[in-house]
Each structure stands twice: as C-alpha cells, then as structure tokens.
Chains A and B, each alone.
Chain A
Amino acid sequence: MSEATKQAVRPLVDTAESRRPIGLLFVAIPVFLVIWLVIWPAINAISRTVWRKDKSGEMGFDLSSYAFFFSDSYSLDNLSITLWTTLVCAILLLMICLPIALYLRFSRGRLAAYVQALAIFPMFVPSIILAFAFIRVLGPNGMVDILFNAVDLPKIRTPYLTPWGPVIGLVWDNIPLTVLILLAGLGSVANQSIEAARDVGANAVQVFWHIILPRISNSILVALSFSVLGIFSSFTLPYLLGPASPEMLGPFMQRTLREVQDPVGAMTQAVIAFGFCIVFGLFYVRSVARSREK
C-alpha cells in the first residue's frame, strides 16, 4: 500500500476509533456527577456512622448511633410523626387530586382552564411564602380568627404548630405535580374506550372503577412516589408550621446538626431517612416492573 492510499484510508478508521471515547465521555459526565454528588456522600455518610473512633480513640465498627436512634423514644416519635405525615399527605393528595384531574380530563371550556391554572398555581409559590400565608390566614389572630371573632363565633383551634400544619402545607405544595402526573396518565385513556364501556352498560362509577382506574394505576403510583419521597424528607414547611416536638425528620436533622452539634447523630438520621426512601423507591420500581410485564 502506498503512502497516499494510507492517508486516504486513515480518516475513516480514525473517526470510528475516536468516536467511541467521545460517546463514553458523554455518558461518563452524568455518571461521574451521580457518583460524586450522590453515591459518594451516601457511602461516606453510611461509613462514617458505622466506622468510628471509639472512646479509646481507635477506629472500629460501631452501630451505637443506630442503636441509640431506635431506642430513643424522642427519635422514634419523630420517625413515626414523619411516617404519619407522609401517609396522611399521600391519602389527602389522592383524594383531592384525582377528582381535580378527572374533572380537567373530561370537561372542556373556560372553567376547566381556570381550574387547571389554579391547580398548577402552587408550583410557583415558594414554600416560605406559602408558610407565612398559612400563618396569616389560619394562624393565631389570623384572618379566619378575626372573621370568626367579628361574628361572635368561638376561636378556632389553629392547626398551626400541630401536626396538621405541615400536612396542610405539604398537601397544598404537592397538588400541582400530582395533578399533572395524574392528568398525563388520564390522557392515555382513550375517549372511545370509555364510551364503549358506557355502551355496554357501565355507569359513571363503574367506568371509573373498571376502565379508568386500572389504566391510571401506574400514574397514581408515580405521583404518590414522587410526593411521598418529597414529603418524607421535606424541611421548610414542617420547620415553619409544625410542632416543636415531635418534629419531622427534616427539621430534626437540622437541629441535631446545628443546635445539638451532633454530626454523627444527624448523619444517622439522614441514613435512616435515606433507607426509608429507598424502600419507597424499590416498592415503586417493583410495581412499575410488574405492570410492564402484564
């Protein structure tokens, strides 16, 4: 082969070989970021809570911080209030968002457009503003209180600083995303398949139960997983609206770190929260996989 032909052939070979590293590079960037920003800190936190200096100053395997968390009644109360809040929020979200999404899917016209705008609106309101609006309206000497007072009704027992405070705030905060995901799911239910069900004799409730619900169960799962994960580790709203004790894991971690100055304790709480989220996540992945199989 002459020099000239070699030169002519080379670019072909070059591009084929040089393309592969570039492709790998594109994949490598997100992978690297995930490892650096998510997996490494997670492993780091876990290892630092189980591999610690003991009293004599020697490094060793040590589960005492976990043992403390699961024997300390205050920590357990915080965990259970977090789980309770998450569960109640999930139920309320479903009860509120499903009718809204159904309404938006099956009605046309201006009113539906307004309802949609209203349902999406909370997405643009920062949690802090939401929390202060909540206090102004429902808090002690808030708008509702003043109105009740003006017409000689008894003072309300404000949900502010009770476990219901964060519940109301978190539900409001999560309505847009939940509605949007459910709406996307409902979009995949063809009008004709609903009409066919009515044609064979199904009334509105039966259509919902037998035709719509099975089709959107996946979207419900996705919507609930998203909001559950967010609510479980939420901070701002429980911090501003919730009771001082017991408190949700978010504020609890923050206080353990800043005020109690117990980084290992805070990290232990974080790892436990992380564990719960992984369980939710696995549950979601499994259900999605199972519905794919069908």
Chain B
Amino acid sequence: MSVLHIAEVTKTFSAGAKAVDSFSLDVADGELVCLLGPSGSGKSTLLRMVGGFEQPTSGSITIDGEDVTHLPPERRPTGMVFQSHALWTHMNVFKNLAFGLKLRRMPAAEIRDKVEAVLDLVGLAGYGDRMTTQLSGGQQQRVALARSLVLEPKILLLDEPFASLDQHLRERLREEVRDIQQRLGITTLFVTHGQDEALSMADRIVVMANGKTEQIDRPDVVYRDPKTPFVAGFIGSMNLIDGEVRNGYFMRSDLTVQLQVPDGPATLAIRPESLDVTASDTPKASVHRVTDYGSHGLVDLDLADGTRLKSMVAHPDLFRAGQGVDVFPRAIAAYRDNQQIYRS
C-alpha cells in the first residue's frame, strides 16, 4: 500500500524560468503513471524532485502520508532507474545489486537470496558474475531496474529508461517492465517522451507542457478526448485547423464544418482516421501525395490556401496526386482559448 501525493510543486532554477509550475498529482497504490511531454517540459525535473535529487521551490511531496519533501535521496523510499550510465562499472552485476542491501547491513546469505530472486525476475538469472560492461544495452537497463527493485522501494521512478535502446528492444522491455510492475504491484512513475510507450504501459497519462499539466487521464481517453489543442496535437496524429466560427459554421478556406458554438476564432481537431475523402467535381482540396502502407493508406491534402490535412483511407489506390477531392469530417473537437468547446 503505497500512494504518492504531489501537491502544488513548483521548481524554479536559478536561470529564472519555471521548470515545473504548481504541479499536482496523486498516484494510487500499484498504479503506473506516465509523465509524457516534449523535451524540456519538466518531466525529469519533477521525477528528480520525487526522488530527492532536486529540492522543490515550493509545494510538498508525500509518500504514504509521510512528508518527504526535504529528505535526501538516501532516506526516501523511492527507487530510480536512470536513462543510462548509472551502473557502477567497477562492480559486477551481483555487487551492483547487493550494494544497497549491504548498506542496510543485511546478512550475506539473505543478500544472495534476494539478489538471485530479483535477477530471476528480470530474466538475468546466472549473470551475477558478469561485469556490467560485458552486458548489452538492454541487459544493462534490466540490471538497473533490478538494482532498484531489490530494495523493494515504495515508489519506483523511471526516467526514460529505454531511450538509448533500439525500437525492437524498447518494445520488448516495455512489456517486461509492465509485467513486473503489475506482478509486484509497485507504485510507479514513468517518464517518457514517446507516446507509444505511454499509451501501451500506463494506467494513467499525465501530459505535460512547459512544466504544467495539460491533461491527466487514462490512455484511451487522452487519445480519444484530448482536452487541450496541445494534447490533441501531441498524442497521435491530428489535423489541427485554425479558423473562424460564424453562424454555426467553422470556416477555413473552402472547408466549412457545422459547429454549434458561439462565433469567434476556433481550432478544429480531426483525426486522420475520422476524415473521409471522396473524389469530387466541386473539390474543396487537392491531393498532394498518397502513401500506401499496405494495411491502409494516408492521403495528404491541401486546402486552397495551402493548409495541409491528412486523411487515412482504406483504399489508397483510388487516389492520385493532383486530384480534386471533397472532405467529410466524421468526428471533430473544437478548442478556443486553450479549452475544449465542442466535441462530437
């Protein structure tokens, strides 16, 4: 039973700008929450504040009701997996894992049992005698994970642990980590700027931009119902079109879409899979390029004023570059002043 409570945490570095800006989050017991955001959005800074490597300028961090805001990392019940270069290369795998237990003055026999159990858990049974430099990148990150897990932390923190690995390995480790996390039921905060990673692993996703929360929701909700234009544009592929609403219609170039909101500027969001295209004699857009992915196709369209749209189609062979087409949005959302004002 471990819950993490982050309340109104702000971090200002000496440079002046706020890296994290009054951020609040509750992570439930056994939950895996992903912090997702573009580079520089303050994800690492937030995670490092939870781990104790940075001091918040204001706000508080509580683990299981205990205020840890001002505790140094060595006295926090958190375990952190770093992006890379964090294994101690002068020790072998066993010693890397045993180090924390030795500091806790655990008997040698018990240490050996624990280390072997956790090596087994991460799929590295029998690797104890290897030097860390003799391991592949994926194995090294597994050792780093095991090193945190062996201490049975209340909160597991991972800062882009797979960033230096290739795509294939990343996908496999992602699944493994998720399995282990669920088996142990360990409360986890995971930083990534890969949306695939977040969508496939997380119980909930926190989308961050400029140190602030944009949206906190389940992955499917974040994808289907982004609450701000930033989230809409950041997660998945999205057509974001700025235009004007007049008399119940959104207008941009030749594109008009019925939109029952008060008059004024608005941003229309349409997923490529929700934008249908058909050949037309009275075209509103022209085909710029057709890409065939086998299972589906992607059609790039230009409105008369040059606005580029993407549409996912089942039969890309029906379209060719230069062709005039009509477009029909099926599901739309609209944003004004950074807030959702309409959703169909």
A-to-B contact residues, CB < 8 Å? 190, 192-193, 195-203, 206, 210-211, 214-215, 294
Given contacts A192-B83, A199-B78, A199-B148, contact A211 B88 (CB under 8 A): yes
Chain A residue nearest in CB terms to B84: A192
**A215 x B74 contact (CB < 8 A):** no
Given contacts A200-B147, A200-B151, contact A195 B103 (CB under 8 A): no
Contacting residues, chain A, for B88 (C-beta < 8 A): 193, 196-197, 211
Complex CA distance for A206 and B144, rounded to whole angstroms: 19
Contacting residues, chain A, for B127 (C-beta < 8 A): none
Identify 11 residue pairs between A and B in the complex whose beta-carbon atoms are under 8 Å apart, listed by A's number.
Answer: A192-B86, A195-B86, A196-B82, A198-B72, A198-B73, A199-B78, A199-B80, A200-B100, A200-B151, A202-B99, A210-B99
**A199 x B99 contact (CB < 8 A):** no
Is residue B85 within 8 Å, beta carbon to beta carbon, of the partner chain?
yes
Contacting residues, chain A, for B89 (C-beta < 8 A): 193, 215
Complex CA distance for A192 and B84, rounded to whole angstroms: 8
Is residue B104 within 8 Å, beta carbon to beta carbon, of the partner chain?
yes
Residue of A192, A193, A294 ringed by the most chain B CB atoms within 10 A:
A192
Contacting residues, chain A, for B78 (C-beta < 8 A): 199
CB < 8 Å: which of B51, B83, B84, B87 contacts A199? Answer: B51
CB < 8 Å: which of B79, B82, B131 contacts A192? Answer: B82
CB < 8 Å: which of A193, A197, A199 contacts B79? Answer: A199
B342 vs chain A, min Cβ distance (A): 46
B96 vs chain A, min Cβ distance (A): 9
B157 vs chain A, min Cβ distance (A): 9
Contacting residues, chain A, for B90 (C-beta < 8 A): 214-215, 294
Complex CA distance for A202 and B99, rounded to whole angstroms: 9
Chain A residue nearest in CB terms to B48: A195
Residue of B51, B80, B90 ringed by the most chain A CB atoms within 10 A:
B90
Contacting residues, chain A, for B100 (C-beta < 8 A): 200-202
Complex CA distance for A211 and B79, rounded to whole angstroms: 18
Contacting residues, chain A, for B104 (C-beta < 8 A): 201
- Chain B residues 128-153 with CB under 8 Å of chain A are 131, 144, 147-148, 151
B82 vs chain A, min Cβ distance (A): 4
**B74 x A190 contact (CB < 8 A):** no
Complex CA distance for A202 and B88, rounded to whole angstroms: 13
B-to-A contact residues, CB < 8 Å? 51-53, 72-75, 78-80, 82-90, 99-100, 103-104, 131, 144, 147-148, 151
Complex CA distance for A192 and B52, rounded to whole angstroms: 13
Contacting residues, chain B, for A215 (C-beta < 8 A): 89-90
B101 vs chain A, min Cβ distance (A): 9
Chain A residue nearest in CB terms to B79: A199
Contacting residues, chain B, for A193 (C-beta < 8 A): 85-89
Chain A residue nearest in CB terms to B151: A200
CB < 8 Å: which of A196, A202, A294 contacts B80? Answer: A196
CB < 8 Å: which of B53, B74, B83 contacts A202? Answer: B74
Contacting residues, chain A, for B86 (C-beta < 8 A): 190, 192-193, 195-196
**A199 x B74 contact (CB < 8 A):** yes
Chain B residue nearest in CB terms to A214: B90
Contacting residues, chain A, for B144 (C-beta < 8 A): 196
Complex CA distance for A1 and B138, rounded to whole angstroms: 60
**A198 x B147 contact (CB < 8 A):** no
A203 vs chain B, min Cβ distance (A): 6
Contacting residues, chain B, for A192 (C-beta < 8 A): 82-86
CB < 8 Å: which of A190, A200, A203 contacts B99? Answer: A200
Given contacts A206-B103, A215-B90, contact A198 B74 (CB under 8 A): yes
Residue of A198, A206, A215, A294 ringed by the most chain B CB atoms within 10 A:
A198
Complex CA distance for A200 and B88, rounded to whole angstroms: 12
**A195 x B99 contact (CB < 8 A):** no
Contacting residues, chain B, for A202 (C-beta < 8 A): 74, 99-100, 103
Contacting residues, chain B, for A210 (C-beta < 8 A): 99
Complex CA distance for A203 and B74, rounded to whole angstroms: 7
CB < 8 Å: which of B73, B75, B147 contacts A195? Answer: B73
A213 vs chain B, min Cβ distance (A): 10
**B80 x A195 contact (CB < 8 A):** yes
Complex CA distance for A198 and B87, rounded to whole angstroms: 13
**B53 x A195 contact (CB < 8 A):** yes
Contacting residues, chain B, for A200 (C-beta < 8 A): 74, 79, 99-100, 103, 147-148, 151
Contacting residues, chain B, for A211 (C-beta < 8 A): 88
Contacting residues, chain B, for A201 (C-beta < 8 A): 74-75, 100, 103-104, 151
B88 vs chain A, min Cβ distance (A): 6
Residue of B52, B78, B88, B103 ringed by the most chain A CB atoms within 10 A:
B88
The 7 closest A-B pairs by CB, nearest first: A200-B100, A192-B86, A190-B85, A196-B86, A198-B73, A214-B90, A192-B82
**A197 x B80 contact (CB < 8 A):** no
A210 vs chain B, min Cβ distance (A): 7
Residue of A193, A203, A215 ringed by the most chain B CB atoms within 10 A:
A193
Complex CA distance for A211 and B86, rounded to whole angstroms: 11
Complex CA distance for A202 and B84, rounded to whole angstroms: 19
Chain B residue nearest in CB terms to A203: B74
Chain A residue nearest in CB terms to B150: A200
Contacting residues, chain A, for B51 (C-beta < 8 A): 199
A64 vs chain B, min Cβ distance (A): 51
Chain B residue nearest in CB terms to A190: B85
Contacting residues, chain B, for A203 (C-beta < 8 A): 74
Complex CA distance for A195 and B79, rounded to whole angstroms: 11
Chain A residue nearest in CB terms to B76: A199
Complex CA distance for A206 and B75, rounded to whole angstroms: 14
A50 vs chain B, min Cβ distance (A): 45
